[in-house]
Each structure stands twice: as structure tokens, then as C-alpha cells.
Amino acid sequence: MAKSIGKKINTAIFISGSGSNLHSIIKNSFKKKFPAEIKLVISNNKFAKGLMYAKQYNIEHKFVNSTKINLFEKKVLNIVKKKKIKLICLAGFMKILSDKFIKGFKYKILNIHPSLLPKYKGLNTHKKAIENNDKFSGCTVHFVTKKLDSGKIILQKKVKINKKETETSLKKKVLKVEHSIYSKAIKIVLKTSY
């Protein structure tokens, strides 16, 4: 018999840009068996295109200025606690969260990174993979720790790099795979550690 699905876990998604991962998670979250409900979207960029998805689906969303990271984290932690958020997913969120924030949150924080970690931490992952003549690239969902892109890996998926691959074509290819693995990783995490 299928395991009965309990209450969905209140989840927040942090973005800075186009929000295609956010969009795909929101769509999956409406499925009965998906274990997360997207209750909050935080952006540190007022003009993030991704904010339109929050608006479109009527999800509470907030722009919080992150120029002063301490202040940003304090404000966000307050909002997150008020909304009883129990999972944070970083999806194209371009700020590094401090150890204080990570410890202060008390629950899990996930991130998606466009490379096969531990290869190519940080920025310009597609450029690096092509320049190094790698045969494969891909993406990784991992837990967020104080060390950038270094937390335990939850899920990873490869894509093949073709001979004529460009940074743009690789980005598009990897992004498509990101959309499928992020929701899968959320399911894994929520089923195993909550």
C-alpha cells in the first residue's frame, strides 16, 4: 500500500534571477504526493524575473536588499521563522549565506549547482567544462554548508558535451536537467530526514 502523505513541509525558495528552477518546483509542488509546499519566495534582486512566478501563483514573495549581508540575513531569518519554514531551497541565489544564518535556521538548506561537483565550484562552470574539453557536465543538488558548493551531495545528473557545444547551449541543456533533479532531491530529503 502506498505510504500516506502527511502535511506538506513549508518551504522557501531563494532566488536572484530568472527563476526557472523556482517555476519548475512550484509546478511540482501542486502534485498531491509532492512533500513540499512553497510558502515563500525571497529575492535579493528587486528585478529578478523569477518574482513573476511567485506573483503568478499567488505565493508570498519578498525582495530583501542584500548589500549589507548581516542585515539581509537577520531580516530573512525573521520572515522565515514567522512563516514556519522548514526547508530552504536556493535556486540561482547569488549570495553566500553565513555560517550564522545556516546555524540560525536549524533546518535543511539545499542548493543547485550547474556542474558535477566537486568539479567547478563557484561561477562560470559551463565555460570551464568546455575549455577543459570535458566529455560530460551536469548539475548537482547538495546541502548548504559554510563552505561554498561543498555540502553533501543529494543528487547529480550528467549531460553529454558535444563537439560543437557552446556555453549557451550547454547552459540550456544543463538547466533542463536541473529542473528534473531539484524536485527529486527535495522528495529524497523530505522523505529521509523530516
The yes or no reply on residue 91 touching ligand GRF (CB under 6 A) is yes
Instruction: Give the one residue of 29, 39, 114, 190 binding ligand GRF; rule: CB under 6 A.
Output: 114
The yes or no reply on residue 20 touching ligand GRF (CB under 6 A) is yes
Which residue stretch of 67-75, 97-105, 107-115, 162-170 sits at the interface with ligand GRF (rule: CB under 6 A)? 107-115
Letter string b/e over residues 91-114, b meaning 16 or more CB atoms within 10 A of that residue's CB: bbbeeebeeebbeebeebbbbbbb
**138 Rama sector, left if φ>0, alpha if ψ -120 to 50, beta otherwise:** left
Return the active site residues: 113
Q: Which amino acid is at 186?
A: I
The yes or no reply on residue 138 touching ligand GRF (CB under 6 A) is no
Cβ distance to ligand GRF smaller for residue 53 or 72: 53
Angle subtended at Cα 85 by Cα 189 and Cα 32, rounded to the nearest 5 degrees: 60
CA distance 76 to 83: 11
Q: How far is the CB of 7 from ligand GRF (least distance, A)?
A: 27
Residue numbers of the site for ligand GRF (CB under 6 A)? Answer: 15, 17-22, 50, 91-92, 112-114, 139, 175, 178
